[in-house]
Amino acid sequence: MVFSPENAADVRFHWSQSTELLEDLLDAYELVLDASGGMFVCPDDVRVHFRPPAVQPITELTQTPRAWLNEVHAPGTYVIVLVQAGASAMGWFEDEACLAHKALKRYVSRGKGRAQLLHLKTKGKSRYGSRLRLQNAARQIVETSTRLNGWWEELGKPERVFGSIPVRTWPVLLAAVPPPPFVKDDVIRVRHHVHVPNHAELMRVQRLLLHGEFVR
């Protein structure tokens, strides 16, 4: 891809194009690390920036464009963990290949419509439904953590872990038995909006993580 101010535009690019695109950008612009630490920007033209794919992040050792070019490589191994109330989806990847995946769905929310009215009219059923939702919520977290531990044992520790996990869910996940094979600080937050986790959503998030963007 040949870059010039004349053909500049909003562009999403695949990780395999990262080095070529950044080199072309450096031929046209001076780029420096943005204050956010997640992209390179042009001090003389704030509209220009280069955000590498999440699977090829800027690190403490690659805080200049040239340093990043010298160190960047294929995505390697990474895990994606998506958790919401009642649903989890996880995948263990190497470059673009999905080597293992699992989606879980559990009843943890109250029903709607007539079923909900009947539910509210009977205290015994209400108590039972509440207990069932709590049990399913706990089971979802334990099954999620158990599956992740199994992958760590079978496939080894990945280079990176990406996660979309609600703030209130983190303490529950970390207290699970067994606990997850990582701590919160190890997890890179998925900065994209995540829909209800399932296999299709897992693969959509992976595609987003494999792409970067530059904007002018």
pLDDT in tens, 147-194: 999 999 999 999 999 999 999 999 999 999 999 999 999 999 999 999
**Per-residue pLDDT at 107:** 78
Inside any domain, residue 201? yes
Whether residues 111 and 178 share a domain: the answer is yes
Residue 203 clears pLDDT 50, i.e. is over it: yes
Closest-CA residue to 27 (of 62, 53, 2, 63):
2
Grade residue 115 by pLDDT with cuts at 50, 70 and 90. Answer: very low
Inside any domain, residue 196? yes
Tokens of 216: 């002018």
**Per-residue pLDDT at 128:** 62
76: left (phi over 0), alpha (psi -120 to 50) or beta: left
Residue 14 clears pLDDT 60, i.e. is over it: yes
Whether residues 92 and 58 share a domain: the answer is no
Distance CA 201, CA 197 (A): 6
Single out the residue in 46, 73, 100 at which a domain terminates: 73
For the segment 5-19, the average pLDDT, to the nearest whole number, is 79
Greater pLDDT, 86 or 121: 86
CA angle 5, 33, 4 (to 5 degrees): 10
Domain range for 35 is: 5-73
Specify whether the CB–CB gap between 168 and 140 falls below 8 A. Answer: no
The half-sphere exposure of 85 on its side-chain side, counting CA atoms within 13 A, is: 7
Residue 179 is classified by DSSP as P
Inside any domain, residue 64? yes
**β-bridge mates for residue 50, sequence order:** 40, 214
Mean pLDDT of the chain: 88
Place of tokens 């002018």: 216
Inside any domain, residue 166? yes
Whether residues 51 and 101 share a domain: the answer is no
Share of the chain above pLDDT 90, in %: 76
**Per-residue pLDDT at 71:** 97
Whether residues 139 and 204 share a domain: the answer is yes
Whether residues 59 and 87 share a domain: the answer is no
Specify whether the CB–CB gap between 131 and 48 falls below 8 A. Answer: no
For the segment 40-53, the average pLDDT, to the nearest whole number, is 92
Whether residues 114 and 186 share a domain: the answer is yes
Whether residues 161 and 178 share a domain: the answer is yes
Specify whether the CB–CB gap between 18 and 212 falls below 8 A. Answer: yes
**Per-residue pLDDT at 121:** 43
Q: How many domains are there within the chain?
A: 2
Whether residues 10 and 49 share a domain: the answer is yes
Place of tokens 């009219």: 121
**Per-residue pLDDT at 163:** 98
Q: Which of 90-99, 143-152, 207-216 has the lowest mean pLDDT?
A: 207-216
End-to-end CA distance of the chain: 15
Inside any domain, residue 216? no
